[in-house]
């Protein structure tokens, strides 16, 4: 996973928009977008500023290991409701599972639709048979 992709994933897990992160970094959203698309290299200062904004260690961004994103309560709440560490690679897995389930639902709807048509045809046949 590239650094830009990892940054994007962390940002999305945090629920931050590109505009929000860009404003925290004091740059334009289009400039920030270039960071996530690996079109701009991060200098040390920008890396540290970005890591602080995203709530991770700069090493987490540069590492090839999965990033641990800690979720903690915000808006002044106390430690109640702390969510356990969430590994970023689990998000990809979850998206694949959800996509698979969506495909299953579409397939099942098609099967049900076919069964309804078969039932209607059978009912019509039986009615014709009864009347003849």
Domain residue ranges in the chain: 3-88
Tokens encoding 125:
């046949």
Q: Look up the pTM and report it.
A: 0.53
The percent of residues in the chain predicted with pLDDT above 90, rounded, is 48
Residue ranges of alpha helices (H) inside 18-131 are 18-25, 29-36, 44-54, 58-62, 88-131
Q: How does pLDDT run across 41-56, given as a tens digit for each residue?
A: 889 999 999 999 998 8
Q: How does pLDDT run across 53-76, given as a tens digit for each residue?
A: 998 889 888 887 766 666 554 444
d(CA 37, CA 125) in angstroms, rounded, equals: 61
3-88 CATH fold: 434 Repressor (Amino-terminal Domain) (1.10.260)
d(CA 83, CA 81) in angstroms, rounded, equals: 6
pLDDT of residue 109 exceeding 80, the answer is yes
Q: Which residue has the tokens 């998000």?
A: 91
């Amino acid at each position: 996973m590239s650094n830009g992709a990892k940054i994007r994933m962390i940002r999305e897990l945090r629920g931050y928009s590109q505009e929000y992160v860009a404003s925290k970094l004091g740059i334009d959203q289009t400039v920030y977008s270039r960071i996530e698309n690996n079109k701009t290299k991060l200098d040390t200062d920008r890396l540290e500023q970005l890591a602080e904004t995203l709530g991770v260690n700069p090493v987490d961004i540069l590492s090839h290991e999965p990033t641990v994103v800690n979720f903690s309560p915000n808006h002044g709440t106390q430690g109640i409701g702390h969510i356990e560490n969430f590994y970023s690679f689990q998000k990809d897995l979850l998206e694949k599972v959800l996509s698979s389930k969506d495909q299953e639902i579409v397939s099942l709807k098609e099967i049900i639709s076919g069964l309804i048509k078969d039932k209607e045809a059978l009912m019509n046949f039986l009615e014709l048979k009864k009347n003849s």
